[in-house]
Amino acid sequence: MSISRRKFLGWLGAAGMGTALGKKATAATNKHFKGYANSNGVLYDNTRCIGCRKCELACNKVNELPSPQQSFSDMEVMNVPRRTTAKAYTVVNRYDGIPGAKGPQYRKIQCNHCLEPACASVCFVRAFTKTPKGAVVYDPSVCVGCRYCMVACPFNIPAYEYDNAFSPRVMKCTMCYPRIVKGLLPGCVEICPTGALTYGSRRDLLKIARERIRRFPGRYVDHIYGETEMGGTSWLYLSAVAFNKIGMREDLGVTPAPQFTAGALSAVPIVVGLWPVLLGGIYAINKRREKIAQQEKTQAVDSALEKARAEAAGQLSAAKQKAEAEKTVAIEKAVSKALEEEAEKSAAGTADTRAEDAAKKSSEEES
């Protein structure tokens, strides 16, 4: 379902009227969601990752994302840390020079699909949903672009389509939800050549992770990242080095995000109800400012054009007057010159006649 701005503003007005009539405002955070106990997830083992970036390639194809400027076989992109973007749902970073590590360490970054998602907890239009399959999915048809999800996410994952002016979306990994509901593996899991990624029941993945740590205590840090962080995530991690050495936060604690947001919003539901009205007001104010700015711009352009026309007309009139004056002067000069030449010719003719007469008289006298 898609909505126009007109319909959206209508809904905002309806929401405001409902609040004014005393109806209880609701938001995604008013009820504490405890997740799905037996949802699925993915276990990432960084000791098996070789940084081949095939997971990036598969993600790009499965989600039909734009081709990157540098090919997926170009490993130089890992010379600098990267984060997910609206055009890249997953990236692999390389970490060199870690004391005690055997060679470079890698980390795959994507949405962790929290058991109790922070993005869903702050979204008042319920654009984000935690599914029983484990994936946190997004509905762009109801999103109003507030981007609270981007602020709330402790893992800095959601990205916004800033270059899409007409229908921008919040973009992130979907755990290949359209595939897993069909019984298929997520694209990155399916393509991984080293078994660094394992998909399955979260409970089973935790057992697998604990067994690996038990069997190879010298290979792994004795912790499964994502088991308890922020209440737990569907994406789990094993690492050969401390997680903060590969850019992962270790200061998140175990409290789910909704416990930080639900209390405040449910305690003052009127604020949540009035929030759509506030957005509508902001939108109206911005539109009015745009209209006034456009009118001022149009007036400025018209004034500049009128001034330019007046200046051009004045310059043309002055040019015509100058041309006429120059033409008159030129004609007068030409007439004066012609008269002078005619006078010179007349004087010369008179002199010649006098000379002839004098010569004739002299001749007669001699005879």
Nearest to 158 by CA among 146, 144, 140, 171: 171
What pLDDT does 320 receive?
81
Nearest to 233 by CA among 106, 117, 126, 59: 117
- pLDDT surpasses 60 at 296: yes
Mind listing the pLDDT tens digit for each residue in 14-26?
Answer: 444 344 334 333 3
Asked if 128 and 120 touch (Cβ cutoff 8 Å), the reply is: yes
* Residue 203 identity (one-letter amino acid): R
What pLDDT does 259 receive?
77
- pLDDT surpasses 50 at 209: yes
What pLDDT does 5 receive?
47
What pLDDT does 57 receive?
98
- pLDDT surpasses 90 at 194: yes
Q: Out of 133-142, 177-186, 283-292, 354-363, which region has the weakest mean confidence (pLDDT)? A: 354-363
Asked if 91 and 212 touch (Cβ cutoff 8 Å), the reply is: no
| 359 CB-contact burial (10 Å; exposed 0-12 / middle 13-18 / buried 19+) | exposed
Which percentage of the chain shows pLDDT scores above 70?
Answer: 83
Q: What is the dihedral of CA 99, 105, 111, 116, to 10 degrees?
A: -40
Q: What average pLDDT score do residues 181-187 get?
A: 97
What pLDDT does 17 receive?
39
* Higher pLDDT among residues 124 and 350, named by residue: 124
pTM of model > 0.95: no
Nearest to 95 by CA among 252, 224, 223, 239: 239
What pLDDT does 328 receive?
82
What pLDDT does 32 receive?
53
Mind listing the pLDDT tens digit for each residue in 257-287?
Answer: 777 765 554 443 445 555 566 666 677 777 7
